[in-house]
């Protein structure tokens, strides 16, 4: 009976996923009604028709959006350790370099993350004056949505995403948010090989633990912000992205969700992208594999990494990853990553 109930619940979840994909609309491309329906029946979004060039490529070689949502199940209940920014911070800060979290905004209160005490207005002002720049992020969520940058302009004025706020009113402004973290801001100018210095440009590095218990890196993507995506680098917000050669760290030309055009140079900074190399790549590979091996119960991790000088920051680790970032360069259906998902039983 229990097996039957589990089977029914899984079928219901899969039906909800299919309905969710079926409701999606084109965001960046003109797609005919016929092609929209065809894409949705196959489990893809309408935009995928152009993003994956299905005029020439076979959809059977690609993992679908339904597959992507199913892969959220690969870590089971351990997803919470990555999805919750506070849990991630406390779990990983002793293993890798992560941006310091100064406070947590919840129920119109701001807590000191280290001791659980309330931060006074003066405490908050002192943190802002000492750091000059901080970042506010939802404790849950992704895609760069709801991110704010706090910057001290002078002793009296604070800028939050380019809007001026007096320092006396900063607490009131922050208390409008709920379940947000107040974190250290990594200066883009400190990032090595920085091709665009108006955003933090993260590398999405995927680690998996194979059936032999070994950690592997099947895919990596370098993301770049643009003038359109500020203050984040996310592709969904207008950023661009390159494929990273796992062996060498060399970057391919960049792509965008919003156009079929490719970019050998950054569209705003005009600096070269194709043929450049990720800084500290060998060290990054070595360290993330070492840390991932310490958490055998979290078999999939999608790391967001920022190389600096001889080290790197880990901004966050995700429990799943967007397939579009990867599949705009190569189909995933017959790759190491897809085989991992099949062996884990989350996709067929």
Q: Is residue 113, in this structure, part of any structural domain at all? A: yes
43 and 162 inside one domain: no
- For the segment 181-189, the average pLDDT, to the nearest whole number, is 86
Q: Is residue 68, in this structure, part of any structural domain at all? A: no
278 and 313 inside one domain: yes
219 and 334 inside one domain: yes
pLDDT of the residue at 125? 86
Q: Does the structure show a pLDDT above 60 at 12?
A: no
- For the segment 230-257, the average pLDDT, to the nearest whole number, is 95
Q: Are residues 199 and 233 in contact, defined by beta-carbon separation less than 8 angstroms?
A: yes
- For the segment 312-316, the average pLDDT, to the nearest whole number, is 95
Q: Is residue 70, in this structure, part of any structural domain at all? A: no
Confidence of residue 194 (pLDDT cuts 50, 70, 90): confident
- For the segment 255-270, the average pLDDT, to the nearest whole number, is 97
Q: Parallel, antiparallel, or unpaired for β 180-184 and 163-166?
A: unpaired
Instruction: Output the domain CATH number for residue 230.
Output: 3.30.470.20
282 and 335 inside one domain: yes
| Rg of the Cα atoms in the chain | 21
257 and 302 inside one domain: yes
The CA-based dihedral angle spanning residues 141, 93, 222, 301, taken in that order and rounded to the nearest 10 degrees:
-70
Boundary (domain end) residue, out of 185, 213, 230? 185
Domain count, the chain: 3
Residue 132, C-beta contacts closer than 8 angstroms, at least 6 positions apart: 151, 152
pLDDT of the residue at 309? 80
Q: Is residue 163, in this structure, part of any structural domain at all? A: yes
Q: Is residue 69, in this structure, part of any structural domain at all? A: no
Q: Is residue 205, in this structure, part of any structural domain at all? A: yes
303 and 252 inside one domain: yes
Q: Does the structure show a pLDDT above 50 at 80?
A: yes
142 and 221 inside one domain: no
pLDDT of the residue at 233? 92
Return the HEC string of 64-94.
CHHHHHHHHHCCHHHHHHHHCHHHHHHHHCC
pTM of the model: 0.89
Q: Is residue 66, in this structure, part of any structural domain at all? A: no
When comparing pLDDT for 12 and 285, which is higher? 285
Instruction: Write the pLDDT tens digit of every residue in 269-308.
Output: 999 999 999 988 999 999 999 999 999 999 999 999 999 8
Q: Does the structure show a pLDDT above 80 at 110?
A: yes
Give the structural domain span for 212: 76-95+192-344
Gap between the Cα atoms of 176 and 110, Å rounded:
11
196 and 172 inside one domain: no
Q: Is residue 67, in this structure, part of any structural domain at all? A: no
Boundary (domain end) residue, out of 140, 161, 185? 185
When comparing pLDDT for 66 and 16, which is higher? 66
Query: In the chain, what percentage of residues exceed pLDDT 90?
Result: 68
pLDDT of the residue at 8? 45
82 and 105 inside one domain: no
Q: Does the structure show a pLDDT above 50 at 7?
A: no
Confidence of residue 4 (pLDDT cuts 50, 70, 90): low
105 and 140 inside one domain: yes
| Dihedral sign computed on CA atoms, order 182, 183, 188, 189 | positive
Residue 133, C-beta contacts closer than 8 angstroms, at least 6 positions apart: 149, 150, 151, 152, 185, 187
Q: Does the structure show a pLDDT above 50 at 167?
A: yes
- For the segment 128-148, the average pLDDT, to the nearest whole number, is 83
When comparing pLDDT for 156 and 291, which is higher? 291
Gap between the Cα atoms of 337 and 10, Å rounded:
22
Instruction: Write the pLDDT tens digit of every residue in 14-53.
Output: 555 555 665 677 789 999 999 998 998 999 999 999 999 9
51 and 86 inside one domain: no
113 and 142 inside one domain: yes
Q: Are residues 196 and 215 in contact, defined by beta-carbon separation less than 8 angstroms?
A: no
Q: Does the structure show a pLDDT above 80 at 2?
A: no
């Amino acid at each position: 009976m229990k097996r039957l109930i589990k089977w029914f619940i899984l079928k219901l979840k899969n039906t909800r996923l299919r309905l969710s994909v079926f409701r999606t609309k084109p965001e960046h491309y003109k797609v005919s009604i016929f092609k929209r329906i065809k894409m949705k029946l196959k489990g893809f979004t309408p935009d995928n028709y152009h993003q994956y060039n299905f005029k020439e490529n076979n959809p059977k070689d690609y993992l679908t959006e339904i597959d992507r949502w199913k892969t959220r199940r690969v870590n089971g209940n351990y997803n919470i350790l990555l999805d919750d920014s506070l849990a991630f911070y406390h779990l990983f800060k002793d293993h890798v370099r992560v941006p310091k979290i100064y406070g947590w905004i919840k129920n119109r209160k701001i807590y000191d993350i280290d001791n659980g005490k309330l931060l006074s207005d003066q405490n908050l002002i002192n943190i802002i004056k000492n750091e000059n720049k901080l970042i506010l992020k939802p404790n849950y969520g992704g895609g760069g949505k709801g991110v704010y940058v706090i910057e001290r302009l002078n002793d009296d004025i604070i800028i939050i995403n380019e809007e001026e706020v007096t320092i006396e009113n900063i607490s009131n402004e922050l208390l409008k948010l709920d379940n947000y973290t107040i974190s250290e801001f990594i200066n883009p100018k400190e990032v090595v090989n920085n091709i665009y210095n108006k955003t933090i440009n993260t590398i999405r590095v995927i680690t998996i633990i194979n059936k032999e218990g070994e950690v592997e890196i099947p895919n990596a993507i370098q993301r770049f912000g643009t003038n359109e995506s500020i203050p984040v680098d996310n592709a969904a917000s207008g950023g661009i992205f390159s494929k990273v050669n796992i062996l060498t760290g060399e970057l391919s030309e960049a792509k965008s969700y919003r156009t079929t055009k490719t970019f050998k140079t950054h569209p705003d900074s005009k600096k070269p992208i194709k043929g450049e190399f990720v800084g500290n790549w060998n060290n990054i590979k070595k360290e993330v594999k070492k840390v991932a091996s310490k958490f055998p119960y979290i078999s999939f991790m999608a790391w967001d990494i920022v190389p600096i000088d001889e080290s790197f920051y880990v901004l966050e680790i995700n429990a799943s990853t967007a397939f579009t970032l990867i599949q705009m360069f190569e189909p995933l259906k017959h790759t190491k990553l897809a085989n991992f998902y099949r062996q884990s039983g989350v996709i067929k």
